[in-house]
Structure 1
Amino acid sequence: MDWKAIEIIIKREAEDAVTNILYEAGLKGTAIESVENLIAVQDDPTINYFDQKILDFDPNISKITGYLPDDNDFNQKLDQIEHDIAQIRQFGLDPGDYQINVSSVKEEDWATAWQAFYKPTKIGDRVVIVPIWENYEPSGEEVVIKMDPGMAFGTGTHETTQLCTRALDKYVKDSDCVYDVGCGSGILSIIAAKLGAAKVIGVDVDPVAVDAAVADVQLNDLQDKVEIKEGDLLDVIPKDQQADLIVSNILAEVIIRLIDSIRMYLKEDGLFISSGIIEKYVDDVKNSLIAHGFEILEVDNQGEWYAVIAKKQGE
């Protein structure tokens, strides 16, 4: 079976949303190219040569590439992708004057084509995201997270994932119960467990994401610590089961709507790590948290993305 490569050139702030759209459409081997990612690997000792000219790529632009079977359903799926990308402006994201390019790929070429994009990626001081086909020996206190980039849209390279990872590394304690709201591929649930959380529950309304998260949990042998549930937070976790820490890497407007529920599900002095926030919504998120009885502990940023870490205060 031959394949079609779909290449989308888009503004960076819409990168996460578009990657999710491609994942929903069933694309395999989705890879993201951006200046941020290129800078992160230029000092990698396994890279023999790094052409500085590639850093001339516009830092505000991402190129996302994925693959679909070249079959009778292709045109319908491509139309759906184009429709969904056009709709993301309503969520406050600007895709810019994006381009969608399509090319043909022979069966014997497609697998190696997308795997070339993925190498072990270190986030913060300890966490290393490793593709399943790579052999990686951790050094010191490094914590290895195995991911299959061909299956999931959350593979650790995006700034929001990295912001949440740094916060989890700083705040997770060994006895903690952690909820991951909007868990996607389950990467933050897995990271929380690998960093020592005693129990993690990942929740997502998307059944396709839930299937991917369950597979990623099994890939990391964490079935005894991480549980993935399909549905809304209020529907799948009893209200009397509170967490020490809740992490949510989704859009700012969704975070604001969830804050009241997040507070209900947090223990006294519990922590809320939120990301997926662009600069113009940071104050909105902070003000909503304060209005609901949270103390802002920290605001971190990477590129144009922000994370807000807050603590639940007493009544």
Structure 2
Amino acid sequence: MQAAVVNKWFAVDVLCGSEAVDSVEDAINELDSLGIEIDLLAKKKDEPIRVTAYFDELPARDEIDNALAECAATYSLEISTREVEDLDWLVEWKKQWKPTEIANFVIAPPWEEVRESEKILIVIEPNMAFGTGTHATTQLCLAAISQDYKAGQSFLDVGCGTGILSIAAAKVGAVKLVACDTDEASIRIARENAALNGVAESISFFVGTLDDSTAAAAFVVANVILPMLNLLLSKSKYMLVLSGILADERAEIERALATREVYQAEISVSGEWISLKITV
């Protein structure tokens, strides 16, 4: 992560319960922070967890409140802001992120040494893109790839973020692998991560999203967006994995699938998040 050279840093701190951490992280990520730190070290049961976002310019309080409004309506949050001491907060943030084992994969940042393992190593430099392997939605997708993806299948990643899912598929043996994101910075980061993992030539990245011209693929992963559901189903030749769905949205997505005569969806749960696997 490259940070601008400035004299002052600012932080937005959100104290919340463990059940709210993923939602707070998602919400605060919308403020375009330079980095997010989740303090999970030595926490006792029911002790509040601090989620901190760092900035070189502090967002207006109404921007902060608006970004967290939905979370605040569901969970108890304590929101504060502060000026950060002149220290290398990036180094402090990096101390918090350690290698994470998910199914057949080990996700690690480039600054960590990882002991040899039979699991497949994926190195991710997060920068400001979503997908470090610590979030439940990413973990659910990685588990689906580990369990159901077959080497040699084509692969489509809609909303690729850091590129973590595409890289996982490439390391398992994907062919004709395409990944897209509407955020140009995310695509740049994803390409850098693919290079870090030696699979840059295997993945075709582009800025944009799914449309009628996008080639269908055997295995498709996507954060579900209801207006795109028909297109996602039509582009999936073997399996469609939908993620980024809160558990309380389950009924809504099931109704949407039922209207499209899709009744057999395998649902996986992680905390307040779910994913759906649809064999087509």
> What range is the shorter-chain TM-score in?
0.7 to 0.9
Deviation at 1:79, TM superposition (A): 4.7
Q: 1:270-307 CA deviation, whole Å, 9 max, x = no partner?
A: 11101111222213223322432435241110112111
CA spacing shift, 1:56–1:168, aligned 2, 3 Å = same
CA spacing shift, 1:190–1:84, aligned 2, 3 Å = farther
Q: Which amino acid aligns with 1:15?
A: V
The equivalent of 2:154 in structure 1 is: 177
| Contact 1:289 1:310 (8 Å CA) reproduced | no
Deviation at 1:137, TM superposition (A): 3.0
Deviation at 1:161, TM superposition (A): 0.9
Alpha-carbon distance between aligned partners in 2 of 1:54 and 1:5, rounded to the nearest angstrom:
24
Q: Which amino acid aligns with 2:94?
A: Q
The equivalent of 1:7 in structure 2 is: 13
Alignment match of 1:56 (pick from 42, 46, 49): 46
Alignment match of 2:37 (pick from 28, 31, 37): 31
Please, what TM-score do these two structures have when normalized by structure 1? 0.76
Higher helix proportion (structure 1 or 2): 1
Please, what TM-score do these two structures have when normalized by structure 2? 0.85
Does 1:275 pair with 2:243?
A: yes
Q: Which amino acid aligns with 1:118?
A: W
- SS of the counterpart of 1:17? helix
RMSD after superposition: 2.6
Q: Which amino acid aligns with 1:242?
A: A
The equivalent of 1:85 in structure 2 is: 67
1:186-197 matches, within 5 Å, as 186-197=163-174
Q: Which amino acid aligns with 1:246?
A: V
Alignment match of 1:105 (pick from 51, 69, 84): 84
Structure 2 unaligned runs (5+)? 1-6
CA spacing shift, 1:94–1:172, aligned 2, 3 Å = farther
Does 1:289 pair with 2:257?
A: yes
Alpha-carbon distance between aligned partners in 1 of 2:53 and 2:268, rounded to the nearest angstrom:
31
Alpha-carbon distance between aligned partners in 1 of 2:206 and 2:72, rounded to the nearest angstrom:
28
Alpha-carbon distance between aligned partners in 2 of 1:166 and 1:117, rounded to the nearest angstrom:
23
| Contact 1:138 1:144 (8 Å CA) reproduced | no
The equivalent of 1:221 in structure 2 is: 198
The equivalent of 2:219 in structure 1 is: 245
Q: Which amino acid aligns with 1:263?
A: L
Percent identity of paired positions between Structure 1 and Structure 2 = 29
Alignment match of 2:233 (pick from 263, 269, 274): 263
Q: 1:16-52 CA deviation, whole Å, 9 max, x = no partner?
A: 5324314xx2x23322345xxx6xxxxxxxxxxxx4x
Q: 1:27-78 CA deviation, whole Å, 9 max, x = no partner?
A: 23322345xxx6xxxxxxxxxxxx4x533325xxx53223222xxxx14x34
| Contact 2:28 2:53 (8 Å CA) reproduced | no
The equivalent of 1:44 in structure 2 is: none
